[in-house]
Copies of this chain bind each other. A is one copy, B any other.
Amino acid sequence: MKLFKFIPILFCFVSFSQKEDSIALKKIYNYYLTKSKCYSNLEYLSTKIGGRLSGSPQAAQAVEWAKKAMYAAGADTVILQPCMVPHWVRGAKEKCNLISTKLKLNKALNCCALGNCIGTGAKGVNAQVIEIKSFEELELLGAKKMIEGKIVFYNVFFDQTHVRTGSAYGESVVYRGKGASYAARYGAVGSIVRSMTSVADDEPHTGNMNYDSTISKVKIPTIAISYKAADLLSESLKKDSELKVYIETHCQTLPDEPSFNVVGQITGTEKPNEFIIAGGHLDSWDNGQGAHDDGTGIVQSIEILEVYKLLSIKPKHSIRAVAFMNEENGLRGGEAYAKFAKQNNEKHLAALETDAGGYTPRGFGADTANGLYDLVVKWKTLFTPYFVERIQKDGGGADLIALEKMGVPCLSFEPDTQRYFDIHHTAADTFDKVNKRELELGSAAIGALIYLLDKYK
């Protein structure tokens, strides 16, 4: 009973500062929903520069553009952090033909080579196909010598029963990443994956793969085919188990290229060597415009700098928007950022990644390290009016792996992801797929969170 006497006092205190924070958040949201430049920035990045794979001329253009956009958003300093990046090029359009004399079929399947894939050149690879549902099945058939000389077709469905689409992706992406090396271990001459997607259309979804020399030293061509093409191939195999597929790729891995992370900073007034950062990745796959992956993350990160102009304040700590290079096929930018932080003895209080699409915000993930989760979860009621409601113990992102290893507490922005895997890594990841308000609400949520972190850290 007596404890209750304390509660109203405490509540009043919290209530006062919460009220102040509520007002700041309302200002931040009002700005982002009416005056934000994130949508026009994204339009430029997506439609004027477009797909920007590491090492490409477009990636270099994106670096120049990001530098300007960061200054325009209010950075007092923009740092270009050099890093050498892989330079894989797709080359001439890849081919995948389904050929069955029995079925009187010679059909081009919609396909794309996976990132890092070797080129077959004009001679291509022509072989029978064996459909596989799991690595366990591959192993069993491999032991029976049934894989040798064939093309392995990993026909693994994206599990639609996961409400978190990322869980379905996580389960199936292993076949894209390591499928070629496992198939090669058993003598396969090529491998095909069903596209990792939640929609039954004809778009092939690319993405990175790695030839893992601990599994096999042989590199075989490896491609993704669309959902519909995978259905057709699987159905055709039921009717003609001896059908063949012809794969032709013209990919090349050129020498590493110099590139950069772009880091826009507003230097802190009280603790300039303590950093709070928000970032996305500037590179994207070559086939689309890299709009949702991860143009939206880039423009949202840049926009955090606007908050301080808007509120006419200077942050206590240094605030950074980070455009990481080479998330898609190497993570060299994330590594370079961590190395740079170490060399300069920079203390990172928190690092947020936004790389799950520019959709309506649902919440944030936050590491438990250094009490970050406990701090962020306290702000839940501040975000409730903005429909940002899930604060989960699960922060970070691919670009933050190296920082996380150094003990930096990490955060992730968590939007609704129901539409993400419809267009992820395809030619359809274009600007028109991004809704202005959804994007702006994401910018506002991230901007507000960074503001609170700076205030309470």
Contacts and interface: CB of A to CB of B under 8 A. Distances in A.
Interface string A387-416: 101100010111001000000000010001
Contact of A3 (B33, B396, B422, B424): B396
Contact of A160 (B2, B3, B33): B33
Nearest to A327: B1
B163 A385 contact: yes
Pick from A4, A293, A327, A360 the residue with the most CB of B within 10 Å.
A4
Contact of A293 (B1, B170, B397): B1
A77 interface: no
A284 B292 CA distance: 32
B425 A1 contact: yes
A438 interface: yes
A353 interface: yes
B412 A34 contact: no
Contact of A2 (B33, B355, B360, B389): B355
Contact of A435 (B161, B170, B422): B422
A397 B3 contact: yes
The residue among A1, A293, A360, A386 with the most chain B CB atoms within 10 A of its own CB is A1
The 3 closest A-B pairs by CB, nearest first: A4-B166, A2-B355, A30-B161
Contact of A390 (B199, B389, B416): B389
A402 B359 CA distance: 37
A389 B360 CA distance: 14
A207 interface: yes
A294 B1 contact: yes
Interface in A304-319: none
A353 B1 CA distance: 10
Contacts of A422: 435
Nearest to A435: B419
A270 interface: no
Given A1-B207, A29-B163, A199-B436, 16 more contacts: A1-B293, A1-B356, A2-B355, A3-B397, A4-B167, A4-B169, A6-B167, A7-B394, A30-B161, A160-B437, A163-B385, A360-B360, A360-B416, A360-B418, A362-B387, A387-B416
A430 interface: no
A419 B436 CA distance: 9
A237 to B, nearest CB: 23
14 contacts: A1-B327, A1-B355, A2-B412, A4-B169, A5-B170, A6-B170, A29-B163, A33-B161, A163-B385, A163-B441, A416-B416, A418-B441, A419-B435, A422-B435
Interface string A186-216: 0000000000001100000001000000000
B389 A389 contact: yes
Interface string A357-398: 000101000000000000000000000011101100010111
A239 interface: no
A137 B417 CA distance: 44
A4 B170 contact: yes
A256 interface: no
A212 B167 CA distance: 55
A346 interface: no
A43 interface: no
